[in-house]
Structure 1
Amino acid sequence: MSTENELKGLRENIDAIDSQLIELISERARCAEKVADVKSKASENEVALFYRPEREAQVLRSVMERNPGPFSNEEMARLFREIMSSCLALEQPVRVAFLGPEGTFTQQAALKHFGKSAVAKPMGAIDEVFREVAAGAVNYGVVPVENSTEGVVNHTLDNFIESSVRICGEVELRIHHHLLVADTTKIKQISRVYSHAQSFAQCRKWLDANYPTVERVAVNSNADAAKRIKSEWHSAAIAGDMAQDLYDLQPIEEKIEDHPDNTTRFLIIGSESVAPSGNDKTSIVVSLRNKPGALHDLLRPFYENGIDLTRVETRPSRNAKWTYIFFVDFIGHCEDEVVKSVLDSIAANSGDLRILGSYPIAVL
């Protein structure tokens, strides 16, 4: 068989497979519409919940477990994430607030978690994202909580102290920073670099080695940095792929972060509790009474019951000087019997305990 005939046969096979895919995706979409109809009828006077974080996590995990290749598990899951996002939009588009402006890593995290069919709304500050969710103006919000290099985002933790919103999910995003310029930039005369303070910290060693004398100007976001250099011929910006594409910039150096595994964890905040998905994490905030051994008493029940702690953070309490509250993340769901027992023990020995949420561990 000649090469041309062989290619023709393969292309015909691809066309036939594409026809099957189109029909199967359409059938899935029709099924999603029926699900929406059933939920709407069952909810009667209450607001129907179309997006179920635990269900989506279970589907994506199942996709990754059944993936035969040659796509990687993550790539296959990303394909299904977009199909699920489009199907959900037929039921009811998810409205999501994120820390803006457009082009930020938080927007990238929101699209990674909810898919591109979600209606994303940029907000100017983290507390504005919390307010939008609490007021019901959006279904969910996306906020950064910690970076593998620079640690916790204190502003996010502080908002949980005063807000009634719940954590409904998490998403982890590998952060790659690029040194970007506009088409009007005179590269050899760069004297100023714009970026977010966290990005400067994550690229400190690279900047010290390659641009030690340039002025470093911290701005509200990397997207803001990207926008600013459009009108300055002597400036560059540190930002990611989304800002680069949105503002039509060019990289003169790529992946300049000091640590190649640089990752930021984002939280999905909403108003409802999330049912167990089978692989969950719980976040709590605890105010301790000021007494010897208080922290030991807080952590001991986790150790005694074999519960894995994934994060413990301390923040000053606003109620009294030199008193502190603790943010604790651990593996398990608050409906698990062993977790219930641990939380009851902590509540009996603490000044105040609040469950911020139990939610699926990040799949993507």
Structure 2
Amino acid sequence: MLKKFFITCSGVDKTILNNCSDGEQNKYVGVGATVFFTAVMASIAGSYALYTVFDNLYGAIFFGIIWGLLIFNLDRFIVSTIKKSDAKWKEFLQASPRIVLVVIIAIVISKPLELKLFEKEINQVLLTEKNQMTLDNKTQIAEQFTPEIAKINSEIEALKIEILTKESETNALYETFIAEAEGRKGTKLLGKGPVYKEKREKHDASLLALNQLKKDNAAKIYTKELAIVNLQKKQELSETTSQPIIANFDGLMARINALGKLPWLPSFFIFLLFLTIETSPIFAKLISPKGEYDFKLEDNESAIKTWVQQQVLQREEMLNADININKKVYHDISEEENLYAYKQKMARDLMKLQADSFYNKQQKML
């Protein structure tokens, strides 16, 4: 049962192969088994690749099976269409387009399996990239908000400096009227005279202005600090919103790029393994000499070709004979007097009718 299944997978003519030796049958059993197991590996690889993209197990398995059947059909077609020839270069020329197709299939099959085999190493590369992307993302977002925050901080600092400047001016006025009262400066008269009162009034006015300035600037500083808090919240919200995008940066293309950053030699040998599996049926046919099946297949094809040529030639001869008979029949008929007189009468009547019709039309026009 298994032998018949693998023979079916090889794409050979079972009617011819059943009349061949066991050794010849076993050769094509091996070819069919290679085609079948390649399709199985393709199905597994396709399922994993689709699961990586869509994250749906049942859908990935379903489409993976479809992909495996497609690869199975392609491999079976490639193997079954290679015909043995007496000239090796003709065989290789015949197989060269199929070899190119097989190389493409090997790449498509091996790449998803490489992703699975090196999954841990790829995850490490992706983790490093995600961390770097997180830092870069924070830097980019900060560049959007930092200038505005710095501008507001500089405005707050200017308001504080304005208060300090006013405090220094008020303190200077306080020192002036105290020194006047103590007789250390100004008029140098001890006591609270007119000059003292004037300087005290200036200080009191400056103190009132200072208190009002503190009150006004405190309100402005509070408003600007709230603006900074709002900007910081927006910055944190932007970071939080973009973080899931970075966290989900592990799709098929990201994994393929991460695989490319790993050492190439292990991945290359896995590709060579699948390339060997894919090309083994083709090269087995190219290298092996003509077998019993090849001779019988060639004999059948030659017999059919000869039969078709015979049928074509026979139909051509029948056509030529029919043409010659028709020529002879019509030639003999053309020499009969009765037929000539009948056709002459019909032509005469037709010309009369044409003349009458022309006369009636001309009469109507006049």
Normalising by structure 1, report the TM-score. Answer: 0.18
TM-score, length basis structure 2: 0.18
More strand by share: 1
Q: Which one has a larger percent helix, Structure 1 or Structure 2?
A: 2
